[in-house]
Structure 1
């Protein structure tokens, strides 16, 4: 099973994101069901590892955090994007969550990527064709979502298909329960 840790977005935040213009049309825009905030990608795990992981996550040493999405950005370049995304603030608190969870994952033998973590919500993905998103970035630089509190850590399963990824919450873990 392909899994990752993340945060579910409240419905009002999803609706706010869905109200952004779907331009350029060449993008593969995320559906309401696909919108989430990834904290730690884990990858393929077997059932034994999944059970160990579930046990290890029962009491994440995390505190609830108030968040909002503010502005948009791009992975790749504005003239050749790989993905459009909404920025998350305060990023430093989610970076703390990410690093704490990374340590827990590594403690059960799940290697983690050492790249810098940039908290974000993916809005759209692009193929190899060069498409400009400069207008989208400029038009939505002041985007601001409703505030929300992340009170649960979610273990997601990712199911890949030709129609895109489908994400399923396997389990929710309350935070701040130590």
Structure 2
């Protein structure tokens, strides 16, 4: 499972149009695009309701905010890239910290990775020097959109197209509803 901000359809369409003429990269299906706030390797079924309640309490403390995508990066780095991503043009670290604390309080421990806000757009089978790709991707600027909720998503491994995961939204939690 994971907790994420999911871009609305017009943003997905805008990014899809930008990527369409750029062959040679295994672009991720737009239906899988999201900005992960917390990754939860395992969540016991009996913890899901508690997790949703904890996320609701936390989300209520965070106001809706405007977000756009601007800037590109790679994991682990641009010289040996295995993942290409776009960056949010707003600081999401406070929201991510709140979400991760909520997950912990509900007994759904997030991974220990440092939060780096990003939207993964390509996963590579072999690492490559991605500097030229990043120069191209860095020119993309999405229209802004209002983030009004976060989603708790269950990832069904290898059930999607080409063996990718299939995502199922378990709960959508409104921001600033306190």
TM-score by length of 2: 0.88
What corresponds to 2:51 in structure 1?
53
- In structure 2, the CA distance between the partners of 1:109 and 1:46, relative to structure 1 (3 Å rule), is closer
TM alignment of 1:26-105, pairs within 5 A: 27-59=25-57, 60=59, 61-91=61-91, 94-105=92-103
Q: Is the 8 A contact 1:33 1:166 kept in 2?
A: no
Aligned length: 172
Give distance in 1, aligned partners of 2:64 and 2:17.
27
Give distance in 1, aligned partners of 2:150 and 2:175.
7
What is the root-mean-square deviation in Å for CA atoms of aligned residues?
1.8
TM alignment of 1:1-178, pairs within 5 A: 3-21=1-19, 23=22, 25=24, 27-59=25-57, 60=59, 61-91=61-91, 94-127=92-125, 129-161=126-158, 163-178=163-178
Q: Which has the higher strand share?
A: 1
- How far apart are residue 82 of structure 1 and its match? 1.4
Q: Deviations over 1:59-108 (max 9, x none)?
A: 322110110000111112333211000010112xx100011111111112
Q: Deviations over 1:13-69 (max 9, x none)?
A: 1112212346562x4311111111111111222221112112222332211011000
Give distance in 2, aligned partners of 1:133 and 1:154.
31
Q: Is the 8 A contact 2:54 2:105 kept in 1?
A: no
Q: Is the 8 A contact 1:24 1:133 kept in 2?
A: no
4+ residue runs of structure 1 moved beyond 6 angstroms?
A: none
- In structure 2, the CA distance between the partners of 1:140 and 1:58, relative to structure 1 (3 Å rule), is closer
Partner SS state of residue 54, structure 1: helix
Q: Which has the higher helix share?
A: 2
Partner SS state of residue 165, structure 2: strand
